[in-house]
Structure 1
């Protein structure tokens, strides 16, 4: 089953968010001012990856 335009767009948006979050995560790990921020960013990345997975599976 192929993805429709809306699904492809959802995946593109999620991937862009992941890229930005990973950049922020790298910066947060370098600073380590706020360990809570690192955990929060890691969770956001996991959430976006879950969205991609669900869209690809057709849920």
Structure 2
């Protein structure tokens, strides 16, 4: 894994951490169901990209 991939993984992990907090708040408030789904999709995409980077 090169330096660029490691940095990208670091950025994605920070994004996942932020999304986790937003998702928790969204579930707690439950004003907009599509917002919760959006956060879940973004988180899944970030996790998939991390796995792809680790595999290469």
The TM-score normalised by the length of structure 1 is 0.92
| RMSD over aligned Cα atoms | 0.4
Equivalent positions of 1:12-27 (< 5 A) are: 12-27=10-25
Q: Gapped runs of 5+ residues in structure 1?
A: none
Q: How many residue pairs end up in the alignment?
A: 56
Q: Gapped runs of 5+ residues in structure 2?
A: none
The TM-score normalised by the length of structure 2 is 0.97
Equivalent positions of 1:1-59 (< 5 A) are: 3-58=1-56
Question: Where has structure 1 moved over 2 Å in runs of 4 or more?
Answer: none
- Offset of 1:19 from its aligned partner? 0.3
